[in-house]
Structure 1
Amino acid sequence: MKSPFRRKRTVNPDGTMTLIEHLYELRNRLGISLAAIAVTTVFGYIWFEVSFFGWPSLGQLLKDPYCSLPATSRASFNADPNSCTLLGTTPFDQFMLRLKVGATAGVILACPIWLYQFWGFITPGLLKKERRYALSFVSVAALLFVTGAVLAYLIIPQALGFLLTIGSEIQTTALTGSSYFSLVVNLIVIFGVSFLIPLVVVALNAAGVVSYAALAKSRRGLIFGLFVFAAIATPGQDPISMLALAFALTLLFEGAIQICRINDRRKARKRVEEGWDGLDPDTPSQIDTTPSPIDGPSRIDDPAGAGGSTGSTRTAAPPVASRPADPAPPPRRRDDPAPGYDDIT
């Protein structure tokens, strides 16, 4: 029996698809992406406690920033004061923590597959030049996300060192595994996503939405907004991660502004070469109101006049006798009675 869920898509010679075909295409690509994420999530769930190919386990890798702190800044739950363990308070903490970290690792590990599926879905509707730009956009986005994640991982020991040692003489913070790994995962994701903001600015400039002049004019306000965003977005609320994110975004934003400057110069040079310099695309073009010359009346027997063909001769029609106009009625006097119905002829 033929499955009703499998339907062969007919490919038109011109590459166009109907709405139903687009929906089937979207369903198939979403299914492949979700299946890949499910497989990598299972791998991340196993990797949480098992090391592969000489690499440390995922749990140990994420716990290293905490274990790099001095032993006096960490709470010890056994007889060995140098041990590095986290605290669990409910029976489901171990399972939920492992599942959460494994799912996050699965989404990141499967990004080449679901990005490729996304690329394959939007490519048929793009021109050749637009495909090249989209591929560059996706590649740079992946590189920026990984860079932000690595930066977050590197500053986690400094951020935790500030948070856990600021009052160590009075109390020792006993971190639970759920709170610590949530902090680490959220910090990595926020840094990775935040590093995409300058790329969005470049994309808006390439689309003609924002210009270099507008960005340069609002540079101070935008940089201040980046610092405010870093203060709100960082989950730890510590000054080290906030300043690290703010300064990194400022450098990337300044680089994006310079790219917009080069792009606007290239557009201006292209307009000069094509003769469009000095014309505002938002200003409507002027309408030519100069009256065109009107030729005099042509003779009716002229072959070129009145739509006659060349070489033919037409004779003028005799004039039609006009009907004489009716005589004007005599003027009325004031003492004349108003005309009645019977007086009208």
Structure 2
Amino acid sequence: MLKSARKKPRDPEGRMPLVEHLRELRNRLVKALLAIVPIMIVALFFAKDIAAFITAPVPVCPSEAKAAEFFAETGKRCAILKQDGLTSPFTTFVKISLMAALVASAPVWLYQLWAFLAPGLHRHEKKYALSAVALGTPLFLTGAYLAYWVLPLAIPVLLSFSIDGSTNFISVDDMVGISVKMVLAFGLAFQLPLVLMLLNAGGVLSGKRMLGWWRGMVLSIAIFSAMVTPTDPLSMIVLAVPITVLYFGATGFSLLNDRRRLNKDPDAGLSDDEASDIDLTPEPVSTSRMLPEQADGSPDDDGRTRRNGYDDAT
């Protein structure tokens, strides 16, 4: 039937049943996968070049003798890359291709994430959400680049804890896994200001409350940075400091947005069960406009005198 095939109009306030929310989430995930999977397949053909790019931060030695000679000359450690197992090269290629696809398709799946959250915002608030999402892609790419930049600094620090006389063997699979984890952790962590600004634009979170959370947020960011980065303090600081700065930047934006909203609507900060102040200031009442022939108060054709558009009786 044409009537049943016709799509139902969307609720302007974004309200929908739970089944509709799940169906919407499924559609958004499918669209994101349609962008990720083709790029992942293409990246498989360039997996060796990407692997060389990922493992470039590791100071590599071709043999144990060369590793010992390098340590004796420079006092620094180098590692020997290895791959264990028959399926390890293939699984490594899959991980490399997945990481490349996630980075390359970031604009698509970030937009799908916004499109899933946007129906919960009012129509006049979506323009702020769209502006905030426009920052999501460069923020994710900045975080991914920062993760790759910190690896050459973190790996020599980690290798320096090796016991004298030992040789470091690093699995390529482990190296790729660390790189993927850091790229995703840095990229997604840099989305924190985007999420906070979206919540503020939707009226869920105020800038004042965000500012009141600063102690707990700084501690949480430090703990998160320690969990997702290697055990060296340098990587933790490199991740924690930018996220903290971005958090306070999002807080400042939210405070300005709340002030703008309050100036536009003084009752915007009231809760649902709180009554607004009633303005009891009397206002002057303007008199009704008289017809030209009644303006001087002279009698009309019936002999009645009208003042301000009314006769004397009224």
TM-score over 0.5 for the pair: yes
Residues in 2 aligned to 1:42 and 1:9: alpha-carbon distance in whole angstroms: 36
Residues in 2 aligned to 1:150 and 1:30: alpha-carbon distance in whole angstroms: 25
2:169 maps to amino acid: A
1:285 maps to amino acid: A
For the 8 Å contact 1:41–1:106, the answer to whether it is kept is yes
So what's the TM-score if we normalise by structure 1? 0.63
Counterpart of 2:149 in structure 1 is: 154
Residues in 1 aligned to 2:61 and 2:160: alpha-carbon distance in whole angstroms: 12
Which of 52, 63, 74 in structure 2 is aligned with 1:60? 52
Identity of aligned residues (%): 31
Q: Secondary structure at the match of 1:208?
A: coil
For the 8 Å contact 2:189–2:243, the answer to whether it is kept is yes
Cα distance change of structure 1 residues 116 and 200 upon mapping to structure 2, 3 Å threshold: closer
Cα deviation, residue 38, structure 1: 2.1
Cα distance change of structure 1 residues 255 and 157 upon mapping to structure 2, 3 Å threshold: same
Counterpart of 1:250 in structure 2 is: 244
Cα deviation, residue 78, structure 1: 8.1
Q: What are the equivalent positions in structure 2 for 1:52-131 lying under 5 Å apart?
A: 57-66=49-58, 69=59, 74-77=60-63, 86-116=81-111, 128-131=123-126
Deviations 1:141-187 (A, max 9, x none): 22211111111110111110100123364423110111111111111
Which of 256, 259, 265 in structure 2 is aligned with 1:265? 259
Residues in 2 aligned to 1:25 and 1:205: alpha-carbon distance in whole angstroms: 23
So what's the TM-score if we normalise by structure 2? 0.69
For the 8 Å contact 1:198–1:252, the answer to whether it is kept is yes
For the 8 Å contact 2:144–2:183, the answer to whether it is kept is yes
Cα deviation, residue 243, structure 1: 1.3
Cα distance change of structure 1 residues 10 and 209 upon mapping to structure 2, 3 Å threshold: closer
Cα distance change of structure 1 residues 24 and 213 upon mapping to structure 2, 3 Å threshold: closer
Aligned length: 262
Cα distance change of structure 1 residues 105 and 9 upon mapping to structure 2, 3 Å threshold: farther
Cα distance change of structure 1 residues 171 and 24 upon mapping to structure 2, 3 Å threshold: closer
Residues in 2 aligned to 1:116 and 1:219: alpha-carbon distance in whole angstroms: 28
For the 8 Å contact 2:129–2:198, the answer to whether it is kept is no
Backbone CA RMSD of aligned residues:
3.7
Higher helix share: 2
Q: Secondary structure at the match of 1:285?
A: coil
Counterpart of 1:38 in structure 2 is: 37
Cα distance change of structure 1 residues 231 and 99 upon mapping to structure 2, 3 Å threshold: same
Cα deviation, residue 230, structure 1: 1.4
Q: What are the equivalent positions in structure 2 for 1:1-345 lying under 5 Å apart?
A: 10=6, 30-49=29-48, 57-66=49-58, 69=59, 74-77=60-63, 86-116=81-111, 128-167=123-162, 169-234=164-229, 236-272=230-266, 276=267, 280-285=270-275
| Structure 1 gap ranges (5+) | 1-7, 50-56, 289-345
Cα deviation, residue 218, structure 1: 3.3
Residues in 2 aligned to 1:206 and 1:29: alpha-carbon distance in whole angstroms: 22
Cα distance change of structure 1 residues 220 and 29 upon mapping to structure 2, 3 Å threshold: closer
Q: Secondary structure at the match of 1:255?
A: helix
2:46 maps to amino acid: W
Cα deviation, residue 75, structure 1: 4.4
For the 8 Å contact 1:15–1:124, the answer to whether it is kept is no
Residues in 2 aligned to 1:270 and 1:88: alpha-carbon distance in whole angstroms: 63
For the 8 Å contact 2:80–2:168, the answer to whether it is kept is no
| Structure 2 gap ranges (5+) | 71-77, 279-314
Counterpart of 1:54 in structure 2 is: none
Cα deviation, residue 65, structure 1: 1.1
Deviations 1:81-133 (A, max 9, x none): 79986201211111110111112222332333444556667778876534423
Residues in 2 aligned to 1:253 and 1:245: alpha-carbon distance in whole angstroms: 13
